[in-house]
Amino acid sequence: MLEPLKRPEGEGLLLVDKPVGPSSARVVSIVKRACGVRRVGHGGTLDPFASGLLPVLMGRRFTREAGSLLGGDKEYVLTLRLGSETDTLDFTGQVISRGEGPLPSGHDVSAVLGRFEGVIDQKAPAYSALKLDGRPLYWYARRGIKVAAPTRKVEIHQIVMEEFLSPDVKLRVVCGKGTYMRALGRDIGRALGCLGHLTALRRIRVGPYSVDQALPLWRISAVKGGG
């Protein structure tokens, strides 16, 4: 049995293993109460449906140095369900389109992945925090307002298919800053001609930091004042 975590104090970088469910902002709130530090921020948002490594920076010095501390590549493991696309590009949304014809084979999936390695143009998901005219894209999407989502260049260093159990494909992705995994899943599904959306997403590395080094959120919540 794990010993109760003592109340951490002061400035620093805290690596948190975020479970599925809470938002990144909720994790920051829990850490802030547990640590008694007023200035707390996180290094890269994880959607509520996603889990994994969320670096949390505590104190003015560390929040100011977030870019240099966490500016490296990121690594994810994701599950892409083939056959349909949702409005949020993950399982929490509504199905808006279904693919036609038979689902692709594992060989078909492997053959298309190479198209997405390197520097590519990626259109941001409609449900994302990327801002357009001062408002996040999800503000428009939730109100049914159609806007042209920005497209930007991102770099994907490696995509490896780890498992294929149709209609699900498990992928491991190493990428640069600003890459949307939900958009990647959308684009792979469209390239295969069958559409797709994410059913699971876990971030396992940010720069030199691994999720294996992270504390589970429940241990931080157990600290007096952190719930």
The CATH number for 135's domain is: 3.30.2350.10
The 10s digit of each residue's pLDDT in 130-184 is 888 888 888 888 888 888 888 999 999 999 999 999 999 999 999 998 899 999 9
Supply the pLDDT for residue 1. Answer: 29
Q: Is the same domain home to 98 and 162?
A: yes
* 128 in a structural domain: yes
Contact 187, 89 (CB under 8 A): no
CB-side neighbour CA atoms (13 Å) of 138: 8
Q: Does the residue 227 lie in any domain?
A: no
Residue 104 included in any domain: yes
Check whether residue 196 and residue 216 sit in a common domain.
no
Cα-based distances in Å from 138 to 87, 128, 202: 11, 5, 22
- The torsion defined by the Cα of 191, 199, 220 and 3, in degrees rounded to 10, comes to -110
Higher pLDDT, 227 or 183: 183
* Whether the bond into 167 is cis, omega within 30 of 0: yes
Both 112 and 28 in one domain: the answer is no
- Examine the domain organization and report whether 36 and 127 are in the same domain: no
The three-state secondary structure class of 210 is strand
Same domain, 123 and 20: no
For residues 50 and 102, state if they share a domain: no
Q: Look at residue 2 and tell me if it is in a domain.
A: no
**Predicted local distance difference test score (pLDDT) of residue 8:** 47
The answer to whether residues 137 and 125 touch, using CB atoms and an 8 Å cutoff, is yes
| Across 198-221, average pLDDT | 93
Backbone angles phi, psi at 15, to 5 degrees: -95, 120
Whether 126 has a pLDDT exceeding 90, the answer reads: no
Please tell me the least confidently modeled range out of 36-40, 120-124, 134-138: 36-40
Residue 5 lies in a domain: no
Task: Name the more confident of 59 and 213.
Answer: 213
- Round the average pLDDT of the chain to a whole number and report it: 87
Number of H helices, E strands in the chain: 7, 14
Domain annotation covers residue 3: no
For the chain, percent of residues with pLDDT exceeding 90 = 58
Q: Are residues 184 and 78 in the same domain?
A: yes
Comparing 66 with 19, the larger pLDDT belongs to 19
Band (224; pLDDT cuts 50, 70, 90): low
* Tens-place pLDDT, residues 68-96: 666 789 999 999 999 999 999 999 999 99
In a shared domain, residues 45 and 78: no
Tell me the C-alpha distance between 163 and 24, whole Å: 28
Is the confidence at residue 38, as pLDDT, over 80?
no
pLDDT at position 12 over 90: no
What's this model's pTM, rounded to 2 decimal places? 0.89
Q: Which residue has the tokens 């449906």?
A: 49
Dist CA 202 CA 85 (whole Å): 20
For the question of residue 90 being annotated catalytic, the response is no
pLDDT digits (tens, 9 = 90+) for 177-207: 889 999 999 999 999 999 999 999 999 999 9
* Measured distance CA(218)–CA(227) in Å, rounded: 9
Domain that holds residue 146: 74-206
Counting the structural domains of the chain, the total is: 2
Task: Please report whether residue 142 resides in a domain.
Answer: yes
- 143 assigned to some structural domain: yes
Residues 216 and 170 in one domain: no
Say what the alpha-carbon torsion angle 167, 172, 173, 179 is, to the nearest 10 degrees: 50
Total Cβ atoms within 10 A of residue 65: 13
127 with 194, same domain: the answer is yes
Place of tokens 């990647």: 184
Catalytic residue among 47, 73, 121, 168: 47
Examine the domain organization and report whether 39 and 121 are in the same domain: no
Task: Give the per-residue pLDDT at 226.
Answer: 57
Regarding whether 88 and 188 lie in a shared domain, the answer is: yes
